[in-house]
Amino acid sequence: MTVLSKPPTEHTPEPSLRPSRPKPEIVAPEPNLTPSEIIARARSFRDQLRAEQDESDTRGTYSPDLHEKFIKAGLYRITQPRMFGGYEFDLKTFYLTMLEISIGHPGAGWCYGLGASHAFEIGSHWSEQAQRELFGDGHFIAPHRAPPMGTLRPVDGGYLFSGTWDYASGVPYSTHFIGGAMIKREGAPPQVGHAIVTRDKIEILPDWGGDRVLGMRASGSNSVRVAETFVPKHHVGTLSPGLGGTAESMINGTPGTRLHGNPMYLGRLAGPFHVTLIVPVIGAARAALEEYEIIITTRKTLSMPMILRFEHADFQRAFGQAVELTDAAEALMIKVCEMYADYCDEWAENGTPITIEQNMRLWGIGQQAGRMACEAVELMFHTGGSSPARKGSRLQRYFNDIAMYRGHSSAQSQAFSAGLARLHFGLPWGMYGL
């Protein structure tokens, strides 16, 4: 069987799905900014991110100063539609930018990425009216807590929205919040909706940062509470199975493909979502390699002959394996982005739908990348001696950070693999309605 084989073409998009991209209604601050420039800007923050690691972990997020620098550098606008003040770069550009932040501080990278990534979601699936209202002046940051931990009660013109969501990563500097909730209509089966509200409608609970959690302390994963508040109907999305829709829903594209003329906005969210989770882990592996190299080039072996550790085969082997695992993880991350772009282009050219299975297999590839990056950090921590276990050690921080990813529900590859097989053989999965 061909890996990630695609079904034959079933539909040809209507010509209206391939319009030229509209002129911006809100011009981005630097219209001529390039992907390579924005990635380089993110890299330039590495020293400050590392210098502020301890205080960022205590605070629970990166500093207000860095946030302002991220705004000025355009880091929050990477996948935001060009029409509404964004740069509309591809997902690979976004994740390589996020990687640079994560190498400086994995927790900060998680916070930045989980806040900045959802402009892509809104630009794909929300209506033109909603996008005009939500993107506003062009500055947009919104975490999305997808599990239906809240409720949406239908009323005239919309819903009354309420609930409490934990782990709303990226919320400290957000302009909006997106929360999953159950829509309960009399005489109809429950449906999951995803409501978006402005920051003034949410309460950010002080339950993140410091010693409250093992790792990713700077990820801004506070809980969010919404007291009953009105949300207009067009600010609520009902994402289809597979976090982004079935193949059938692509016949006429999405609001984003029709509005922006860019097939990226098909918005098949599952694969890209998991890339957002693994990039900080790959960043931790890259940063850990630097720390491990310092250890083995400055400390000697404890057995005779006492030589610098990098001269000993045991440490050469560990370092080489960690490099291989990290390189492979980053290569897989980039490959997922490229495959997603190829799938979107094929839909635009000949109507080939992206199947739910393909979407979820991208998630699976990302899981394997995350596993390899974790193994790289674990190998270096386990062979780095006792000093990395001390509080304040950067290698300890990176080890704790990847431990948080290991425990994330989305990283549980054994459960995921069984579900993916069920999906392949036409059996119900039970995940997000699959």
pLDDT, position 429: 83
pLDDT band at 6, cuts 50/70/90?
A: very low
Measuring CA to CA, which residue among 283, 285, 289, 282 is closest to residue 310? Answer: 289
Handedness of CA 68, 73, 78, 84 (dihedral sign): positive
208, 102 contact by CB (below 8 A): no
Q: What is the pLDDT of residue 296?
A: 96
Q: What pLDDT is stored for residue 11 in this prediction?
A: 44
* The pLDDT value given to residue 242: 52
User: How many Å is the maximal CA-CA distance in the chain?
Assistant: 80
> What does the pLDDT average to over 4-10?
41
Tell me the two tokens of residue 19. Answer: 């319009």
Structure confidence at residue 184 (pLDDT): 86
Percent of the chain with pLDDT over 70: 92
**Model confidence at 5: pLDDT above 50:** no
* pLDDT band at 3; cut points 50, 70, 90: very low
Class of domain 144-239: mainly beta
pLDDT at 189: 87
Mean pLDDT of 342-364: 93
**Whole-model pTM over 0.85:** yes
Do 376 and 285 meet the contact criterion of CB atoms below 8 Å apart? Answer: yes
414 C-beta neighbours (distance < 10 Å), count: 7
Domain ranges of the chain: 16-135, 144-239, 264-424
- pLDDT(23) > 50: yes
Lowest-pLDDT range of 3-17, 97-111, 132-146 = 3-17
Tell me which CATH code domain 264-424 carries.
1.20.140.10
Cα–Cα nearest to 123, from 179, 75, 80: 80
* Structural element, H or E, at residue 398: helix 394-407
pLDDT in tens, 243-277: 555 555 678 899 999 999 999 999 999 999 999 99
Residue type, 406: R
CB 279 within 8 A of CB 99: yes
* Superfamily of domain 16-135, CATH level 4: Acyl-CoA dehydrogenase/oxidase, N-terminal domain (1.10.540.10)
- Alpha helical stretches, state H, 136-187: none
Q: Are 16-135 and 264-424 the same fold in CATH?
A: no
pLDDT at 2: 34
* In the predicted structure, residue 20 carries a pLDDT above the cut 80: no
